[in-house]
């Protein structure tokens, strides 16, 4: 039996002539120090990508990339197609896994100086893969053709529309017409299943080819300096003096980790289920709060928090600058120290980037800058705030609800966070200051002078003047020391 298989193998190899190449790849020496658990993230990203191809092809057999049918076909996949929900879950969570693994891989490569000579182009190919992967994530979010996809496209088009002079043409090109509609979805479908995957496969090939040709990066030792004229020879000496064959020495850790990732994905997808779709993509349903997927939330937050006057400039030049810097990195610091212990600036960059992106993402999950659209009608006035109040103050409490104040100002922890909470307004503003703030607005608050009658302002102020915690006196007008706080 074994003998028969071996003879089939020999017959095939006599014609295919790949046996020696495979053996060469499998047995190529890697530095002993590189066979580390730190080096498993790239291969795991690739494994998840392969899973994405498999689940993506399965989904494409049912998903209908037409604007009038896409949402229906997603609902069909979720509820009627046998195992459709699980395939959607695997593909959606697979995308999260892939993005996460890719970023961990990238941080590791950056900190270990693996992008330095002679591996500059491996890093460049990796940057293309990064852009492709994020492109897949965004276009995939569009194919989940729901309200978030529709308004996400609106955000994309609005950014593109800020391009000077040709902005509106760029918008038409992205949308495939004057509005977000059928041709928009078809364009993004073509990108998601043909264009970007083809690029991904091509650049994965190049990336792997370069890793094999140039050898895996050795574990960086402080003090071991990369020089263009000596590095190649040093590396050869290292892998021959202290190297091991890739198979199985390094590959075993890749294998174990990739297997755990696949099982982890299977479990997460089974527990968490498919991602969306949320409401159908009907733009006339405006009772919607559009949010991007998790890995774009930080950008969504950034757009809310950038000073408006910098926004157009940064939206258009920021991505170009960041991507340009990423591509230029190996040419800016292609030699020198590899170890992160001797590259404090690099460590600071990583810590800063992770902290900023993490904080923005966290802010994006509850977006304090957005009005809470239903707070005025859904969040009750805390009972304590209406106990023992005069009719005028109660009238004010009512107006704080009905005039939608609470969409931006919280009471008792419920309501918007755009403006300051009203629970202790009286400790911060005197009566006159409250009147002025309501009527003239300012500090990001609209002016309500035209929308409120003097009697209404009077009632709201009467209510707000009572808003100070027990034991904390209301603010006083220091210019009129004799006047009690409640009257000033």
Partner 1 sequence: MTPTPEKTTRRNFLFGLGIAINAIAVALFAIPIVGYILSPARRFTWLDWIPLGPLTDYPEHQTRLAEYVNPFKKAWDGETAKIPCWVRRMTGDEFQVFAINCTHLGCPVRWFAESELFMCPCHGGVFYSDGRHASGPPPRPLYQYKYKVEAGNLWIYAGELPTLGKPEV
Nearer to partner 1, 303 or 340 (CB): 303
Among 234, 278, 370, 427, contact with partner 1 (rule: CB under 8 A): 370
> Of the ranges 120-128, 279-287, 420-428, 430-438, which one interacts with partner 1 (CB under 8 A)?
279-287
Kindly state whether residue 198 participates in binding partner 1, applying the rule CB under 8 A.
Answer: no
Question: Which of 179, 214, 316, 485 touches partner 1 (CB under 8 A)?
Answer: 179
Tokens 């979805």, residue located:
185
Touching partner 1, residues 67-86 (CB under 8 A): 67-69
- Which residue among 171, 193, 426, 462 contacts partner 1 (CB under 8 A)? 171
Q: Decide if 274 contacts 89 (C-beta within 8 A).
A: yes
With binding defined as CB under 8 A, does residue 369 bind partner 1? yes
CB of 73 to partner 1, least distance (A): 12
Query: Residue 22 or residue 304: which is nearer to partner 1 going by CB?
Result: 304
What is the C-alpha to C-alpha distance for residues 316 and 310, in angstroms, rounded to an integer?
A: 10
For partner 1, the closer of residues 186 and 458 by Cβ is 186
Which residues from 85-144 bind partner 1, rule CB under 8 A? none
* Cβ 190 to partner 1 shortest distance, Å: 10
256 binds partner 1 (CB under 8 A): no
Decide: is 294 part of the binding site for partner 1 (CB under 8 A): no
Using CB under 8 A as the binding rule, whether residue 453 contacts partner 1 is answered as no
CA dist list (Å): 114 to 124, 126, 301, 308, 313: 12, 12, 32, 39, 33
Minimum distance between the CB of residue 283 and partner 1, rounded to whole angstroms? Answer: 6
Would you state the structure tokens that stand for residue 288, as one six-digit string?
């919607």
* Closest to 327 in 3D by CA, of 135, 134, 122, 138: 122
Give the shortest CB-356-to-partner 1 separation in angstroms.
18
Site string for partner 1, 372-411 (x = CB under 8 A): -x--x-------------------------xxxx-x----
365 binds partner 1 (CB under 8 A): no
The residue from 290, 318, 334, 412 that contacts partner 1 (CB under 8 A) is: 290
420 touches partner 1 by CB under 8 A: no
Report the residue from 53, 62, 66, 75 that binds partner 1 according to the rule CB under 8 A. 66
Of the candidates 282, 384, 432, 472, which one interacts with partner 1 according to CB under 8 A? 282
Is 181 a binding residue for partner 1 by CB under 8 A? The answer is yes
CA separation for the pair 288, 202 (Å, rounded): 39
Q: Could you say whether residue 361 binds partner 1 (CB under 8 A)?
A: no
When binding is defined by CB under 8 A, the residue of 54, 104, 155, 398 that contacts partner 1 is: 155
* Binding piece for partner 1, criterion CB under 8 A, among 15-23, 111-119, 179-187, 388-396: 179-187
Size of the site for partner 1 (CB under 8 A): 70
Measured from the CB atom, the residue of 367 and 427 that comes closer to partner 1 is: 367
Residue 177 interacting with partner 1 (CB under 8 A): yes
Q: In the complex, what is the shortest distance from the CB of residue 376 to partner 1, in angstroms, rounded to a whole number? A: 8
> Out of 158, 234, 278, 333, which residue is the one contacting partner 1 (CB under 8 A)?
158
| Contacting positions for partner 1 (CB under 8 A) | 66-69, 150-151, 154-155, 157-163, 166-173, 175-184, 280-284, 286-290, 300, 303-304, 306, 308, 311-312, 367, 369-371, 373, 376, 402-405, 407, 418, 441, 444-448, 450-451
């Amino acid at each position: 039996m074994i003998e028969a298989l071996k003879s089939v193998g020999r017959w095939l190899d006599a014609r295919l002539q790949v046996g020696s190449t495979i053996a060469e790849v499998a047995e190529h020496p890697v530095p002993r120090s590189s066979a580390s658990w730190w080096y498993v993230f790239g291969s795991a990203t690739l494994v998840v990508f392969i899973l994405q191809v498999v689940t993506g092809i399965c989904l494409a057999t049912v998903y209908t990339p037409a604007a009038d049918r896409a949402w229906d076909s997603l609902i069909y996949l979720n509820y009627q197609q046998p195992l459709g929900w699980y395939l959607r879950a695997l593909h959606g969570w697979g995308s999260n896994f892939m993005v996460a693994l890719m970023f961990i891989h990238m941080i590791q490569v950056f900190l270990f100086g693996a992008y330095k000579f002679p591996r500059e182009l491996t890093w460049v190919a990796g940057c293309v893969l990064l852009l492709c992967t994020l492109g897949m994530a965004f276009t995939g979010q569009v194919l989940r053709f729901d309200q978030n996809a529709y308004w996400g496209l609106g955000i994309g088009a609005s950014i593109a529309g800020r391009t000077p002079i040709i902005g509106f043409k760029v918008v038409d090109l992205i949308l495939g017409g004057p509005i977000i509609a059928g041709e928009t979805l078809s364009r993004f479908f073509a990108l998601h299943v043909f264009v970007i995957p083809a690029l991904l496969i091509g650049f994965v090939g190049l990336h792997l080819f370069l890793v094999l040709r140039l050898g895996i990066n050795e574990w960086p030792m402080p003090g071991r300096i990369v020089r263009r004229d000596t590095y190649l020879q040093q590396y050869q000496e290292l892998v021959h003096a202290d190297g091991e064959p890739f198979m199985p020495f390094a590959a075993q850790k890749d294998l174990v980790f990739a297997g755990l990732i696949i099982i982890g994905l299977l479990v997460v997808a089974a527990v968490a289920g498919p991602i969306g779709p949320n409401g159908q993509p009907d733009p006339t349903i405006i009772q919607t709060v559009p949010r991007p997927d998790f890995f774009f939330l930080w950008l969504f937050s950034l757009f809310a928090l950038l000073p408006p006057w910098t926004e157009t400039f940064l939206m258009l030049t920021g991505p170009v600058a960041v991507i340009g810097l990423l591509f230029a990195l190996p040419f800016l610091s292609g030699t020198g120290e590899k170890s992160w212990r001797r590259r404090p600036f690099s460590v600071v960059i990583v810590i800063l980037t992770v902290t900023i992106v993490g904080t923005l993402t966290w802010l994006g999950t509850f977006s304090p800058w957005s009005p809470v659209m239903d707070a005025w009608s859904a969040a009750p006035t805390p009972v304590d705030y209406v106990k023992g109040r005069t009719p005028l103050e109660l009238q004010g409490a009512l107006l704080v609800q009905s005039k939608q104040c609470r969409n931006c100002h919280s009471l008792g922890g419920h309501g918007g966070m755009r403006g300051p909470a009203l629970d202790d307004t009286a400790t911060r503003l005197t009566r006159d200051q409250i009147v002025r703030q309501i009527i003239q607005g300012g500090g990001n608050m609209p002016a309500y002078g035209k929308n409120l009658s003097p009697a209404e302002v009077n009632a709201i102020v009467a209510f707000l003047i009572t808003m100070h915690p027990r034991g904390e006196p209301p603010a006083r007008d220091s210019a009129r020391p004799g006047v009690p706080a409640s009257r000033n």
